[in-house]
Amino acid sequence: MPQIPIIMPQLGESIAEATIVRFLVRAGDSVKADQDLIEVETNKATMAVTAPCSGRLDKLAVDVDQSYPVGAVLGYVEATPEEAARLGLDAPASAAAPGRSQAETELADAKTRAGVQPTVRGLPVPANAVGASYMSPRMKARMTELGLHAADLAGIAGSGAAGRVTIEDFERFLAHLEKHKLTPASSMRVAVADAMRRSWTRPLAMVALPLRLDPLLTHRKSLALKPGPALYALRALAVALAENSAPAGRLVGNKIVHPPSIDLGVAVEAEEGVLVPVLRQADRRRLNDLVRPYHDLVELARQRRLPPDATGASIATVTNYGTFGLMLATPIPLPEQTLVLGLGAGRKVPNWDEARQQFVPAMEANLTLSFDHRVLDGGAAGRLLARVASLLSRPETL
């Protein structure tokens, strides 16, 4: 009689694997279709894997307390003649693939099903690639020795209990890396990576608004010293935070720490990284007074010659990712900040003119605000962004 594999089912939309808790039957027992055979546990619930058909439980191919991916073969049921006929598995061996026996065909089918790569929220991922969610003291010591963080091991598929990454997995990973081209990361790249790793420990979110650029561009033409769009945005953010500094506060324990000064940074691309020079007390200086200090700081940043007092201790950053042709992005606040204001590339779009009762061309860009969701909710972030957009629509007030 044909052996029907017992397959680990998809136990939920985002479930990629399950741990065997206990066996409800033993090899050799008679079972009925849909009878509970194995109790398994996911990170959400405990459920049962049922028999695919009636027959005799031939064997169980898994162990208790071990995790197995969706699609894995957990054992086999030897179907009864009636079940084999019902499932269309009573065909003669000649129906198997040419040059291959029926048993070999069934084994190949089982292997194919066991190798299923489950789709989790639309992305094919290795079911057991949970990364270094747990690390033994030995693993931590080895990583400290090599200067690595848990984030560096996110792509390692663990072979230990519950998908844990073992020291053997880690050493194989290191050996595999040696087969690839390796180049040393610059000190700036490492510093940026460390800052982003620390930033990402917080729940971050983003809101966005379309911004009419025509008033800003017209105002810019009238000035002798011409501010860039990022400086307009920085000044508008400074004014908005001077009115209410709470959105730029930091959550420490159960208290919001308000900023003592509106010191804002601007993201500047430098060789192999990003530097953030800071304009101190940006709310107390008019736009015209900020143009020259701003350009001086940007130039020093590009040369990587910023003085110590021009970096650090800022409460928010402004980034103009539109210079790269990007219309929308999700910048990440620095670890000591709560906010990043972003400006996308300008583009000409049709805009409804109420007076003319027709569409007219207008320059528009996306204005975004990334924020620490522990400090701000969407409503507060949206109001702050709307206030910044309102100020930018009247640049003469800046």
DSSP 236-281: HHHHHHHH--GGG-EEETTEEE--SS--EEE-EEETTEEE-BEETT
Alpha-carbon distance 107 to 3, whole Å? 9
In eight-state DSSP terms, residue 311 is B
For domain 3-124, give the CATH number: 2.40.50.100
On whether the CB atoms of residues 278 and 313 are closer than 8 A, the answer is yes
Q: What is the pLDDT of residue 381?
A: 94
Which of 289-299 are b and which e, b meaning 16 or more Cβ less than 10 Å from the residue's Cβ?
A: ebbebbeebbe
Domain pair 3-124 / 202-397, same fold = no
Q: Which residues pair with 265 in a beta bridge?
A: 278, 317
Among residues 247, 210, 260, the alpha carbon closest in space to that of 370 is found at: 247
CA 87 vs CA 90, 91, 190, 348: distances in Å: 8, 10, 58, 62
In eight-state DSSP terms, residue 45 is -
Helix (H) or strand (E) holding 350: strand 347-353
Q: What is the pLDDT of residue 69?
A: 86
Q: Which residues pair with 257 in a beta bridge?
A: 250
On whether the CB atoms of residues 276 and 326 are closer than 8 A, the answer is no
How many other CB atoms are found less than 10 A from the CB of residue 162?
16
- Phi, psi at 173, each rounded to 5°: -60, -45
Q: What is the pLDDT of residue 331?
A: 92
Low-confidence ranges of the chain (pLDDT < 70): 1, 12-15, 43-45, 86-136, 151, 154-155, 157-158, 160-163
Q: What is the pLDDT of residue 162?
A: 56
Please give the structure tokens belonging to residue 327. 């219309």
Global pTM value: 0.60
Among residues 308, 286, 306, the alpha carbon closest in space to that of 296 is found at: 306
**Region of 163 on the Ramachandran plot (φ > 0 left; ψ -120 to 50 alpha; else beta):** left
Alpha-carbon distance 8 to 19, whole Å? 10
In eight-state DSSP terms, residue 97 is P
How many other CB atoms are found less than 10 A from the CB of residue 246?
14
Among residues 390, 394, 372, 391, the alpha carbon closest in space to that of 381 is found at: 372
For the four alpha carbons of 169, 171, 174 and 179, in that order, the dihedral sign comes to negative
Alpha-carbon distance 376 to 202, whole Å? 12
Q: What is the pLDDT of residue 253?
A: 81
Would you say domain 202-397 falls under CATH 3.30.559.10?
yes
Q: Where are the domains of the chain?
A: 3-124, 137-182, 202-397
On whether the CB atoms of residues 55 and 78 are closer than 8 A, the answer is yes
- Phi, psi at 211, each rounded to 5°: -125, 125
Q: What length does the chain have?
A: 398
Q: What is the pLDDT of residue 175?
A: 83
pLDDT digits (tens, 9 = 90+) for 61-118: 999 989 888 888 899 999 888 877 766 665 544 444 445 545 445 444 544 444 334 4
CA 76 vs CA 32, 51, 106, 107, 178: distances in Å: 13, 9, 11, 11, 41
Helix (H) or strand (E) holding 75: strand 73-79
